[in-house]
Structure 1
Amino acid sequence: MSSAHGSTLTREDTDLDTQLRGMLAAQRPYNVVVWNDPVNLMSYVAWVFRSYFGHSKERAHKLMLEVHHDGRAVVATGPKEKAERDVTAMHNYGLQATLEEA
């Protein structure tokens, strides 16, 4: 907003700005990253990717190999709340998973 006395922001302007930033952050995509671990069998990890995310057998196998060889793989991308649910689900399956901005 500008006025004859210069440019000033009202409290309402800054509150709206904060709300808008929060809404944009919530819409920003997030990656679900699954990390390699010494515990789970590769066949189990691929099965989780197929069962939970609905990946094809080929895609699940490719992601599992990426986890195994590279130490991590992005297995899904989506809104923050969904990605947080996916990370929790991976933990419930016994897999190590984290969230990162896409």
Structure 2
Amino acid sequence: MTPVAAPTVDREVDIAERIDPARPWQTVVWDDPVNLMSYVTHVFREYFGLPRAEAERLMLAVHNEGHAVVAQGAREQMELHAQAMHDYGLWATVRQEPS
């Protein structure tokens, strides 16, 4: 029987990829070619309870910049927000706040 070589393990860890528990998490909504701007504004108002002006500001960021941070806080809560955005048909992800 031929011995099996142990796999090599790369011990280097990219510091930038490490999770920093002190940094908050964010829910990010991304632009898509499907949803109308009025619908995105409606979702932000209905789900997050935002005033019209704030919902429109975030919707315009999504439309013009390609994405917008719509919430920030604990990871679990941001994951719930992202799932809710998916339920509304929007494209959303969760990320840790960039340092």
User: Fold conserved (TM > 0.5)?
Assistant: yes
Which TM-score band (shorter chain)? 0.7 to 0.9
Unaligned runs of 5+ in 2: 1-18
CA distance in 2, matches of 1:50, 1:59: 9
Unaligned runs of 5+ in 1: 1-21
Instruction: Indicate the residue corresponding to 1:93 in structure 2.
Output: 88
Q: State the TM-score, normalized to the length of structure 1.
A: 0.73
Instruction: Indicate the residue corresponding to 2:48 in structure 1.
Output: 53
TM-align CA RMSD: 1.5
| Deviation beyond 6 Å, 4+ runs, structure 1 | none
CA distance in 1, matches of 2:67, 2:91: 10
Identity of aligned residues (%): 53
1:79 has 2:80 as partner = no
Q: State the TM-score, normalized to the length of structure 2.
A: 0.75
CA distance in 1, matches of 2:74, 2:23: 6
Answer 1 or 2: which has greater helix percent: 1
Deviations 1:31-67 (CA, angstroms, capped at 9, x unpaired)? 1000000000000000000110111100000000000
Instruction: Work out which of the residue numbers 16, 39, 47 in structure 2 matches 1:44.
Output: 39
